[in-house]
Chains A and B, each alone.
Chain A
Amino acid sequence: MSGNIQLLSDTLATAKSEGRSALIAYLPAGFPTVDGGIEAIKAALDGGADVVEVGLPHSDPVLDGPVIQTADDIALRGGVKIADVMRTVREAHEATGKPVLVMTYWNPIDRYGVERFTAELAEAGGAGCILPDLPVQESALWREHAEKHGLATVFVVAPSSKDERLARITAAGSGFVYAASLMGVTGTRATVSSQAQDLVERTRATGTDLPVCVGLGVSNAAQATEVAGFADGVIVGSAFVKAMLDAPDDAAGVEAVRALAGDLAKGVRGQA
């Protein structure tokens, strides 16, 4: 069974045809529990997210700030396994029909086996992966298997990426390009970095057809509107996790996620 790379591309194209940015939400699997995480992810999609990234928690999340570290810790202490991540992908996709990606670090996939992981993710209805510590020059094996199974390889680009590097990355990537809005780890920020628009423009200047979506530091509807002014998609992670962490109980957390997705969906439509 082939993965849903085409659904991902179609979803981003539809948003563009509506004259808006897509809203991409991130939440880790297994947080606060496997079933609770599935409910939260479905709520993000029902609330207005076009795409979701399901985090596969890792013991050593070097690119994540304290909020996602906390969620990963909770998920890992709860015993989340890759099979649970696959179930999360499957249920989120089947319930909503929307594209579901996995975001994780390279070691869990390397250890699990690239062929096994890509085959299972495609079978679960997944659309692709974001692997922020797998740079393009180390990615050949991953891409071979991802392509075979119809999965997107979403690379991250950073404000420090030089133009020739952007060209190499956009040539190798698929689905969309994840433009990190700032130099730093995940987490909410009060303002959108001025580096973000420049990076989006430099990425597009490579001539790539891939949508360019911006993440890191975006947490509210006003910021989503601002980013939507220059990017094809707006990626929000820590703010969703924080909504869950701050809620008095799991049910309230799920509703907070749904409400935030609704606000952000208005934001990307300029209706905030």
Chain B
Amino acid sequence: MPSQFFIPDPEGQTPNSEGYFGAFGGKFIPEALVAAVDEVAVEYDKAKHDPEFAKELDDLLVNYTGRPSALTEVPRFAEHAGGARVFLKREDLNHTGSHKINNVLGQALLTKRMGKTRVIAETGAGQHGVATATACALFGLECTIYMGEIDTQRQALNVARMRMLGAEVIAVKSGSRTLKDAINEAFRDWVANVDHTHYLFGTVAGPHPFPAMVRDFHRVIGVEARRQLLERAGRLPDAAVACVGGGSNAIGLFHAFIPDPDVRLIGCEPAGHGIETGEHAATLSAGEPGILHGSRSYVLQDDEGQITEPYSISAGLDYPGIGPEHSYLKDSGRGEYRAVTDDAAMQALRLLSRTEGIIPAIESAHALAGALEVGRELGRDGLIVVNLSGRGDKDMDTAARYFGLYDTDAEVAADADTDTAEIEGDAK
């Protein structure tokens, strides 16, 4: 029986054998890592064609993760989206609270097949780190997570979760002390320990085969959503909307819809304080093609190829790169990418919380803010599916400070009440 939940891209599709999606992708890695990266490609290819691998992964995805994830219609939220119908793909309900577990379980099984005993990973918001620490606990693998020092502060809850699960968490103090620097440090570790260590990369970036492999493990999101929408709404959506940092949840949702020309694929990038301020992480909106972390893709950089420091309120989107397949979708016109500010995302976070009783991650809130815009553009006949990639528990400290929800900060709380009035006024 074919796998229900591990549904890699059908043969003969992108990327090519060198790992290129059009002009983007490839394998820009130090010689020391060539053998290891090639080994991952060979083992993944074998696993992809091995029914035993699919069976084992399926079992985990159903009985451990809780797949399929629900598709929830959100009519009270949708009133603010021009009256379009809005459905949320509930990846936040997966075990560990985000879509990240889909990829992690796949790569953890691969780690075992390669006979490696140690896993390293980078994390921004901590969701990939928590998922990786979880899988390592489950499989008895040694686990080290690299996390930018700034992110360890703004996502302290996830640091505690990782340590509870037995992982070592290393706060990275170099560069911008966020996700980019965590990846640099993980690569340095990998070069030195590659004989027994797998780098469980958390997004659809990095050298080939990671962009294609990580996408394949997340492809289930869109496959399920497509089927669920056909059952529930009786048709395909007008738009599939997701947030993009590195781009894993977005490609997971988008990929099954690529052959459906009438489904718009809309990625929402973090505009931070606004693209015009320079304080953002909107790589596709404001970047140029370059090489970062092993592949060619859009990157935020200056005229001399130095990577510029990104900014977003969301640790998971605070990254100056993007997976190469998104660059390809952008340049081919199949994907649309728009930028969402911190403020728009935070307002959407609160709106979903108050209208539907679902607190989303700040990352996913960028997609929700995008969906509000898209819904208003589509009007009442519109049908939108949004990837709710993660839950917001980890962000409560950031949100509480933003909205002044702590008792000790009455003055800020008063401001936040004003904001609420503004949102309600705006939306109606």
Contacts and interface: CB of A to CB of B under 8 A. Distances in A.
Contact of B30 (A76, A132, A137): A132
B303 A138 contact: no
A91 interface: no
Interface in B187-218: 187-188, 191-195
Interface in B289-321: 290-294, 299, 301, 303-308
B126 interface: no
A105 B31 CA distance: 13
Contact of A185 (B27, B174, B188, B308): B188
B191 A111 contact: no
Nearest to A64: B188
Interface in B86-115: none
Given A111-B290, A158-B32, A165-B34, A138 B191 contact: no
B179 to A, nearest CB: 12
Interface of A: 58-63, 65, 69, 73, 76, 81-82, 105-112, 132-135, 137-138, 155-162, 165, 169, 180, 183-185
A62 B28 contact: no
Given A107-B292, A108-B306, A132-B31, 14 more contacts: A60-B184, A61-B184, A62-B188, A106-B291, A111-B301, A112-B303, A135-B28, A155-B31, A158-B32, A160-B32, A165-B31, A165-B34, A180-B31, A184-B191
A134 B304 contact: no
B381 interface: no
B18 interface: yes
21 contacts: A59-B306, A61-B184, A62-B30, A108-B305, A110-B290, A110-B291, A112-B304, A112-B305, A133-B30, A134-B28, A137-B27, A138-B26, A156-B32, A157-B31, A158-B32, A160-B33, A160-B194, A165-B31, A183-B191, A183-B195, A184-B188
Contacts of A76: 306
A66 to B, nearest CB: 8
Nearest to B288: A111
A135 B31 CA distance: 6
B104 to A, nearest CB: 23
B309 to A, nearest CB: 8
A169 B30 CA distance: 13
B66 interface: no
Contacts of B18: 137
Contacts of A109: 305
Interface in B166-180: 174-175, 180
Nearest to B195: A183
Interface in B106-130: none
Classify the secondary structure of B's interface with A: mixed
B35 interface: yes
A107 B290 CA distance: 6
Contacts of B36: 160
A184 B33 CA distance: 10
A185 B192 contact: yes
B29 interface: yes
Interface string B269-300: 00000000000000000001011111000010
Nearest to B36: A160
A53 B299 CA distance: 28
A105 B301 CA distance: 14
Contacts of A155: 31
Given A62-B184, A107-B301, A161 B192 contact: no
A73 B174 CA distance: 9
A138 B18 CA distance: 10
Given A60-B175, A161-B34, A185 B28 contact: no
Contacts of B299: 107
Contact of A162 (B35, B288, B291): B35
A110 B305 contact: yes
Contact of A81 (B30, B32, B301, B304): B304
A160 B188 CA distance: 15
Contacts of B30: 62-63, 132-133, 135, 156, 158
Contacts of A162: 35
Given A60-B184, A183-B195, A185-B191, A135 B304 contact: no
A183 B188 contact: no
A73 B306 CA distance: 12
Given A59-B307, A108-B305, A158 B31 contact: yes
Given A106-B28, A183-B192, A185-B191, A161 B305 contact: no
Contact of A60 (B191, B192, B307): B307
